A and B are shown apart, each in its own frame.
Chain A
Amino acid sequence: KAGVTQTPRYLIKTRGQQVTLSCSPISGHRSVSWYQQTPGQGLQFLFEYFSETQRNKGNFPGRFSGRQFSNSRSEMNVSTLELGDSALYLCASSLDGRNQPQHFGDGTRLSIL
């Protein structure tokens, strides 16, 4: 069974640009969550999507947004990139999300110059 797939694995952008990251969940999983991982803050929850609807949102500015498609695939978008957005962005999927284990992809490493 294929795991969570994230593309691209690496991205280099400059300040002010925007970026879109993609996540394909494990087949049959309907909940997709996004996390940001940095050395200083660790893993922080961004948002969760279920059945194409944002169900939960973390404490991040509105520049961070996402969406989910009918096949459960998800994208997240970051607009007006800042140096502090450099991080590993991780996607995780679970069956329906309620207190279940989340299974992570290997992330997209985003570097802002």
Chain B
Amino acid sequence: EDQVTQSPEALRLQEGESSSLNCSYTVSGLRGLFWYRQDPGKGPEFLFTLYSAGEEKEKERLKATLTKKESFLHITAPKPEDSATYLCAVPGQTGANNLFFGTGTRLTVIP
């Protein structure tokens, strides 16, 4: 069965303190991995798609990387406005457009 596990569940960082969030997955034939950011009371906001091992994507202070078993979301010199829950997701069985989501990492950046 396809599974997505995120760690840690929660992370508190000082402003400027870089760190990484982990998303490990077990799927039969990866057809992409998606990262989202979700603020309280809002829907998930799309950040990145990664399709193959070795691929990297960057956006401002965020960089997502992908290996054959896991993905990392690296946050460099975070700011308080980066505080949010970060979710990763993988597509379900071939041809299906259902995303399996991890339970997310709740990031708090303290000024």
Contact = CB atoms under 8 A, between A and B. Distances in A.
Nearest to B47: A101
Given A43-B44, A97-B97, A98-B97, 10 more contacts: A31-B97, A33-B98, A42-B102, A44-B101, A45-B98, A45-B99, A55-B97, A56-B97, A56-B98, A107-B42
B41 interface: yes
Contact of B101 (A43, A50, A105): A43
Interface residues of A, number: 28
A106 B97 contact: no
B105 interface: no
Interface in B56-111: 87, 89, 91-92, 95-104
Contacts of A100: 49
A74 B31 CA distance: 26
Contacts of B45: 104
A58 B8 CA distance: 27
A92 to B, nearest CB: 8
Given A33-B98, A56-B96, A107 B91 contact: no
B92 A90 contact: no
